[in-house]
Amino acid sequence: MLDGLENASKAAAEILKKEIEAYASRKKELSDFRKDLESFVNKGIGGKPVIFFIDELDRCRPNYSVEVLEHMKHFFAVRGIVFVLAIDKEQLGHAVRGVYGSEQLNSDEYLRRFIDLEDSIPQPSTKDFTSYLFDYFAFDQFFKAKGRLQYPNTLEEREAFLSLATMLFDKTKITLRQQERCLLT
């Protein structure tokens, strides 16, 4: 029985030793990666930062979103590398709480570990956004088509369409993405 205990202890010690060696190896690889990355940043662009733009992280699978944040923090924590996140912070907070399985988790506090500066883009007026979409989707090509120009009401229909779309979007309070989809289809 004593031999069994001794063998089990040796086996456990050997497993622990291998795990510690693997951890040390990963830690050294991470350190080497950061050094190489920092060297690349310093040599390659004349002292200007490398900027990564990450858009719609809040729309990804929750566990993927959290993994990306953690990799940003741990692998790319190098002077001269900047990440710009275009996110819906509230939705990303839901993802964080989902991954960690707790509605009690303060997701704002968690996200502060990854986000140093925060700013938000103001929502455009419904009228301005509708006009933008009208131009973007080239509705004028329809309203100013040669076959339509022979009718005198064409310009009035154009204005009526814009007014109606603006009024509907304003009254229903749908999101910008939903407004875009309404005019796209």
Give 60's DSSP letter. S
How confident is the model over 151-180, as pLDDT tens digits? Answer: 877 778 989 999 999 999 999 999 999 999
84 shares its domain with 136: no
Report DSSP letters for 14-36, one per residue: HHHHHHHHHHHHHHHHHHHHHHH
Torsion region of 78: left, alpha or beta (phi above 0 gives left; psi -120 to 50 gives alpha):
beta
Q: Give domain status of residue 97, yes or no.
A: yes
10 shares its domain with 78: yes
**Predicted confidence band at 73 (pLDDT cuts at 50, 70, 90)?**
confident
How confident is the model over 17-26, as pLDDT tens digits? Answer: 787 877 777 7
Q: Which domain holds residue 52?
A: 2-112
137 shares its domain with 95: no
Structural domains counted in the chain: 2
67 shares its domain with 133: no
**Predicted confidence band at 146 (pLDDT cuts at 50, 70, 90)?**
confident
